[in-house]
Amino acid sequence: MSDFGNIFRSAMDLYEAGQLAEAEQACRKMARAFPQAAEAMHLAGLVAMRQGNQAVAAERMGRAAIADANSAEIQHDHAQALKAVGKLRDAIGAFKRAIRLCPDAPALYCNIANTYRQLDELDAARENYQHALELAPDVAEIHANYAACLYALGDV
């Protein structure tokens, strides 16, 4: 395994074990040694998010999203971080990028719909919930969110 692979695996293990301070240190080490590695930036963002540092997470995820514009997971996590800091319009853009990369993921449509609901853009929310339900008709959470959207629209 490469040096990057070893450091990354170690950092990921620390993150998964909940040893966030140690994971943060490992991420800093990766950032110094491999400043363009999107995976390192992404993991650093996940660590910050779990530590409750949403602004730092959004910044790190943003760098990761630029470094690897072809990762739906990174785009999605960036969107979630943007939502956490109240940047809902920017989150919509990141969700759209994730959907373009992975158009068959119902969670992406549900998450963008939830964001549209927060913005009170209920028609866009309804459309995305419907798409999520086409992909995952048995997921209760999507049905519940869709019903809440319909209720807000006065359609129930």
**156, pLDDT greater than 90:** no
**CATH classification number, 1-87, choose in 1.10.10.10, 1.25.40.10, 3.40.50.720, 3.40.50.150:** 1.25.40.10
Q: What is the pLDDT of residue 3?
A: 86
Q: Kindly tell me the burial class for residue 34, based on how many C-beta atoms sit within 10 Å of its own C-beta (0-12, 13-18, 19 or more).
A: middle
pLDDT in tens, 100-127: 999 999 999 999 999 999 999 999 999 9
DSSP 8-class letter at 144: H
